A = this chain, B = another copy of it.
Amino acid sequence: MDEVKFALDTFYAIMSGALVMWMAAGFTMLEAGLVQKKDVSEIVTKNLGLFSIACVMYLVCGFVLMYPSDAVFAISGGLDDAGEAIVYGILPAIGTSWGLSTDMPLDEIGMAYGMDYSQQADFFFQVVFVATAMSIVSGAVAGRMKLIPFFLFAIVLTAFIYPTQGYWNWGGGFLSTLGYSDYAGSGTVHLLGAAAALGVVTVLGPRNGKYGFDGTVNPMPGSNIPLAALGALILWLGWFGFNGGSELVISDEASAIAVSQVFMNTNMAAAGGVLGALVLSLFMTGKSDVTMAINGAIAGLVAITAGPSAPTGGEAVIIGFIGGLIVYGSILFFDSIKVDDPVGAISAHGTAGIFGCMVVPFTNGDASFLYQFIGVVSIAGFGFLASLGTVYVINMFMPIRATDSEQEAGLDASEIGVEAYPEFK
């Protein structure tokens, strides 16, 4: 009986994880579709590489930093003595994470994260989240950030920046103690990724030609709209794993109902987001800007992520709809302050992420605006500053920005050597 529950919950966790892994394809297609033709191979390489780096770095140390073992606390009395904690707590834990295998007795894995399903399933489900956060960055820096510095930054973000603040919310850190409520990570994953992206973009600057001397905004249309739409639909599907899996357990009646409410609401919020963005686009321009519909879907999904189980289906539609309105305005805003974000990642994940965190108390009585606000400020502030600092340092050793002639020829030519569509003129 219990074994069946254990098996069912494990199966549910790994299927959810597989769906979240699929989001990597979503980000890759979305970004490949929304950048210019000459930068497509590069963005594809960045996405394949960042996902791989995220998986490896989280195995190396991200996981144990985010979910530190009791040993750490036992030794140090709550990180009083960081040196001892590292030597006796973190370092051995790194070994166990890297050595996670079926041979290992469960109680040796050394994480303060008891659960009723397999640790491997848990790791697998967690690791795809860190990759998601990093994927957000790749879109925002497309078209001008060089590959190697990007990968170096990916190492730092996935090994340290994400786990550090992930610990605050999900690993037992101060946000969880405080009562910050963020079910699947509107803040912890999406806002963090967007804040990191903003930090990097601050150092990096916009693509050449994006903003005219006279303040004009030059649109640089994406090369492949159906691919971008495919990306959004992949994300939509993957998000069922992202949000649905975050209930963590499905094997009893209440959990099963909660998980299915989450599936339903996730879908409803995405639908609301599309409609919000389309309605606003029609109202503002008389046309139905498909790129806004795409961003609206993502914004709706991000907005519901902080609390997908509490709202009714109808409330989920409304939350998504507002997310769709917000992303529209946010994209115009960031363009007006000359923050170049080729795919709208900062708006869809950041601005909508803040909204998602702040709207939780409306439908979830256990959450409070103050604690949500503290969560938003600390995650966004830390993500922004840590990322800005990291790329600032990287930039001192190795320029992160492609030169004018590299940008002109396209990053595919200068860094990848492979044109994305060599036969299409």
B288 contacts A45, C-beta separation under 8 Å: yes
Q: Does A162 contact B (CB under 8 A)?
A: no
Q: Do A230 and B29 have beta carbons less than 8 Å apart? A: yes
Interface string of A14-25 (1 = CB under 8 A from B): 110111011011
CA distance A231 to B115 in the complex (A): 35
| A–B Cβ pairs within 8 angstroms, 19 of them | A1-B1, A7-B8, A7-B251, A11-B11, A18-B19, A18-B263, A36-B423, A44-B226, A44-B290, A49-B278, A49-B288, A51-B274, A55-B267, A56-B272, A56-B275, A99-B314, A100-B312, A118-B256, A123-B313
CB of A41 closer than 8 Å to a CB of B: yes
Digitize A79-118: 1 where CB-to-B-CB distance is under 8 Å, 0 elsewhere. 0000000000000000001111110000000000000011
Q: A72 in the interface, Cβ–Cβ < 8 Å? A: no
Give 1 or 0 for each of A390-421: 1 = CB within 8 Å of chain B CB.
00000000000000000000000001111111
Do residues B24 and A233 form an inter-chain contact, with CB atoms below 8 A? yes
Q: How many residues of A sit at the interface, in one of the four size bands?
A: 35 or more
Q: Check if A425 sits within 8 Å of B422, measured CB to CB.
A: no
A424 close to chain B: CB less than 8 A: yes
Min distance, Cβ A43 to any Cβ of chain B, angstroms: 9
CA distance A41 to B33 in the complex (A): 12
Q: 5 nearest interchain CB pairs?
A: A52-B271, A121-B260, A25-B233, A98-B314, A120-B260
Given the interface contacts A6-B256, A10-B257, A25-B234, does A309 sit within 8 Å of B18 by beta carbon? no
Given A25-B237, A313-B123, verify A251-B52 contact (CB < 8 Å).
Answer: no
Contacts of A1 in B (CB 8 A): 1, 4
Neighbouring B residues of A15 by C-beta, 8 Å: 15
User: Which residues, 251 to 275 on A, are CB-close (under 8 Å) to B?
Assistant: 251-261, 263-264, 267-268, 270-272, 274-275
Cβ contacts under 8 Å, A51 to chain B: 271, 274
Q: Are B264 and A18 in contact (CB under 8 A)?
A: no
Whether a CB of chain B sits under 8 angstroms from the CB of A384 is no
Among A163-171, A189-197, A291-299, the stretch in contact with B: A291-299
The CA of A298 and the CA of B423, in the complex, are separated in Å by 25
Once the chains bind, are A120 and B261 in contact (CB under 8 Å)?
A: yes
For residue A54, give the distance in angstroms from its CB to the closest CB of chain B: 8
Contacts of A422 in B (CB 8 A): 221-223
- Interface: A227 (CB within 8 A): yes
Contact bitstring A50-67, B, C-beta under 8 A = 1, else 0: 011101100100000000
- In the assembled complex, the Cα of A309 lies from the Cα of B101 at a distance in Å of 8
CB of A332 to closest CB in B, whole Å: 15
Q: Which residues of B contact A121 (CB under 8 A)?
A: 256, 260, 263-264
A272 to B53, CA, bound (A): 9
* Cα distance A134–B416 in the bound complex, in angstroms: 31
Which of B32, B47, B127, B221 is within 8 Å of A418, CB to CB?
B221
Q: In this assembly, does A310 line the interface, its C-beta being within 8 Å of a C-beta of chain B?
A: yes
- Within 217-237 of A, Cβ neighbours of B (below 8 Å) are at 221-227, 229-230, 232-234, 236-237
CA distance A6 to B7 in the complex (A): 12
B33, B101, B289: the one contacting A311 at CB < 8 Å is: B101
